[in-house]
Chains A and B, each alone.
Chain A
Amino acid sequence: MAPAVFLLLVWMLVPLCMTLWFSLRDYRPLRGGDLGFVGLENFVRFVSSSSFWPAVFTTMLIVGGVLLVSIIFGVLLAMLLDQPMWGQGVVRILVIAPFFVMPTVSALVWKNMFMDPTNGVFAHIWRAFGADPVVWLTDVPILSLIMIVSWQWLPFATLILLTAFQSLDSEQLEAAEMDGAGPLARFFFIALPHLSRAITIVILIQTIFLLAVFAEIFVTTGGAFGTRTLTYLIYQRVLESQNVGLGSAGGVYAIILANIVALFLMRIVGKNLDR
């Protein structure tokens, strides 16, 4: 296992140290290069810049929105797919398919063919009901992004929750039914507690991926209309305005944030490893 460990160690440590190093310097490749050590100034400036809090807020809205949609609909869908039916295999394939669509494709398809205010499918539907089409990506940009990203991640949540559902003991449910528990009681007192671990895992894994959402914003709004997330803000600082020092300080914040989430995930995964 030595080569794998060594490679990952280098892959992790070298860029990490470089980011830390840059974050302590005033480094702008296009405007004078490395202008020397500035201590923690970048960290203070990143947090006090006017775009920081809106970016945090946007990130929370998108991550929270997608989590909410994918968990609620994921549980419902998993429950539905777990029922006996004809053509279960095909339905499963239909539901899972969005997960395999590359992010740039799903974002562009949604942006143009569904959310376009004149020719999009939604515009047709709105007009059919006599309503004015919504200009999705400018009027409700964050909602639009939540819809696009949820569509991509709902299959993942559904699949994992379905796997968890299938391990639920049917005898337990039958026993509860015989004892007079209604469908709601069976759901809240037996199914949901059984799912709690799977739900936690979905939340943690998705949070890590959702914090890093990039391509969907890149090809739809380019960070305009208040859709600049923390990840996108750092990307803009580093590559677009080439303020590497400031961007690296933001990167350090992002790394710390991701690590807090990762810590909880690792604890669950680690516990599972012992069994």
Chain B
Amino acid sequence: MARAVTTQRKALNTALAWLVGLVIFFPILWTILTSFKTEAEAIANPPIILFFDWTLENYGVVQERSNYVRFLWNSVIIAGGSTLLGILIAIPAAWSMAFVPSRRTKDILLWMLSTKMLPAVGVLYPIYLLCIQLGVLDNRIALVVILMLINLPIIVWMLYTYFKEIPGEILEAARMDGAGLKEELLYVLTPMAVPGIASTILLNFILAWNEAFWTLNLTSVDAAPLTAFIASYSSPEGLFFAKLSAASTMAIAPILILGWFSQKQLVRGLTFGAVK
């Protein structure tokens, strides 16, 4: 509902919005700043905001002490693997629901959504037990599969809403021009579907990266991703604000950058197409 306003009014809006934005962003900013301080500077009273000796020392210490790279690698494998696996399984499903809908399609979609609503804690022990029985507790593959299943409903839904927007007439037109099924898929549908698939991958990668119920409960050492790595800082010894900040910055930086690209998809993905 953007309307023409006076410059004065616009300046006021700008000032207020930036103030609120910076307050909300402040914890992240403060974490990033603190990660470049020494431990003494990190707890200085009054706090030092910008004028300290910038140092990368904390990053080195975090990597040395707890092998950050290993956790990062686990996060990449678990989030990336579960997203890709989910996409592979969801594309045919969403495709057929969008282009060859049956009377039951709507019910199936809603039912899929309902599995997402199942509270994880309600099935914690069964999954835990199954992992022990199958010998896959603290195993990356197991987490890939579990996170894939958790996000599968969202993946199917997002893809469905994107595919649904591809007009059916375009297929008819292609057919009239003599395109076979192969050409149809390759030259008409795929190019139109790629942006939707890319957005879906992005959002689900973020969701899987930040998932902190199963990753905390089903990992200990070998498969622990960054969520668990950070949780290990919850019982600190000695000075550690700067190191906590460095570890936190490293854990959130990749996803903050990806997240900024996915604002629009966030709304669609998390409201299941109910708000666009």
Which residues of A line the B interface, CB within 8 A? 1-5, 7-8, 11-12, 14-16, 18-19, 22, 77, 80-88, 90-106, 108-114, 118-119, 121, 124, 127-128, 151, 154-156, 159-160, 163-166, 168-170, 173-174, 197-198, 201, 205, 208, 211-212, 214-215, 218-220, 231, 234-235, 238-239, 244, 247-248, 251-252, 254-255, 257-259, 261-262, 265-266, 268-270, 272-274
Considering residues A91, A106, A118, A212, which has the most beta carbons from chain B within 10 angstroms of its beta carbon? A91
Q: Are B276 and A12 in contact (CB under 8 A)?
A: no
Q: Are A98 and B24 in contact (CB under 8 A)?
A: yes
Q: Are A82 and B2 in contact (CB under 8 A)?
A: yes
The 3 closest A-B pairs by CB, nearest first: A100-B259, A15-B123, A1-B93
Shortest Cβ gap from A11 to chain B (Å): 4
Determine chain A's interface SS by DSSP, over half rule: helix
Number of chain B residues close to chain A: CB under 8 A: 96
Among candidates A3, A114, A198, residue contacting B93 with C-beta atoms closer than 8 Å: A3
Shortest Cβ gap from A160 to chain B (Å): 5
Among candidates B47, B128, B129, B252, residue contacting A121 with C-beta atoms closer than 8 Å: B47
How many A-B residue pairs have C-beta atoms within 8 angstroms? Tell me. Answer: 310
Residues of chain B within 8 A (CB-CB) of A265 are 117
With contact pairs A4-B90, A99-B259, A113-B31 given, residues A214 and B152 touching in the complex (Cβ less than 8 Å): no
Could you pull out 18 A-B pairs where Cβ atoms are within 8 angstroms?
A8-B112, A8-B153, A22-B126, A80-B20, A96-B260, A100-B206, A100-B210, A101-B28, A103-B227, A104-B212, A104-B234, A108-B248, A119-B45, A160-B270, A163-B275, A231-B119, A239-B217, A251-B124
Determine chain B's interface SS by DSSP, over half rule: helix
Considering residues A2, A102, A251, A274, which has the most beta carbons from chain B within 10 angstroms of its beta carbon? A102
Q: Are B20 and A95 in contact (CB under 8 A)?
A: yes
**Complex Cα–Cα for A86 and B92 (A):** 44
> Can you list, as one digit per residue, whether each of B110-127 has a CB less than 8 Å from chain A (1) or not (0)?
101111011111111111
Considering residues B129, B210, B245, which has the most beta carbons from chain A within 10 angstroms of its beta carbon? B210
Which residues of B line the A interface, CB within 8 A? 1-3, 5, 10-11, 13-14, 16-18, 20-22, 24-25, 27-28, 30-31, 34, 42-43, 45-47, 89-90, 92-94, 96-97, 106, 108-110, 112-115, 117-130, 149, 152-153, 156, 206, 209-210, 212-213, 216-217, 226-228, 230-231, 233-234, 236, 240-241, 244-245, 248, 251-252, 255-256, 258-260, 263, 266-267, 270-276
**Complex Cα–Cα for A1 and B128 (A):** 28
Q: Are B118 and A16 in contact (CB under 8 A)?
A: yes
Among candidates B18, B227, B275, residue contacting A201 with C-beta atoms closer than 8 Å: B275
**Complex Cα–Cα for A251 and B118 (A):** 10
Q: Are B1 and A102 in contact (CB under 8 A)?
A: no
Shortest Cβ gap from A229 to chain B (Å): 10
Q: Are A102 and B210 in contact (CB under 8 A)?
A: yes
**Complex Cα–Cα for A212 and B212 (A):** 11
Shortest Cβ gap from A254 to chain B (Å): 5
Residues of chain A within 8 A (CB-CB) of B21 are 90-92, 94-95
Q: Are A109 and B244 in contact (CB under 8 A)?
A: yes
Shortest Cβ gap from A144 to chain B (Å): 14
With contact pairs A105-B252, A128-B46, A261-B117 given, residues A1 and B96 touching in the complex (Cβ less than 8 Å): yes
Which chain B residue shows the least CB distance to A272?
A: B274
**Complex Cα–Cα for A197 and B271 (A):** 11
Residues of chain A within 8 A (CB-CB) of B1 are 82, 165-166, 168-170, 173
Among candidates A84, A169, A198, residue contacting B2 with C-beta atoms closer than 8 Å: A84
**Complex Cα–Cα for A84 and B34 (A):** 34
Among candidates B114, B122, B234, residue contacting A219 with C-beta atoms closer than 8 Å: B234
Residues of chain B within 8 A (CB-CB) of A2 are 93
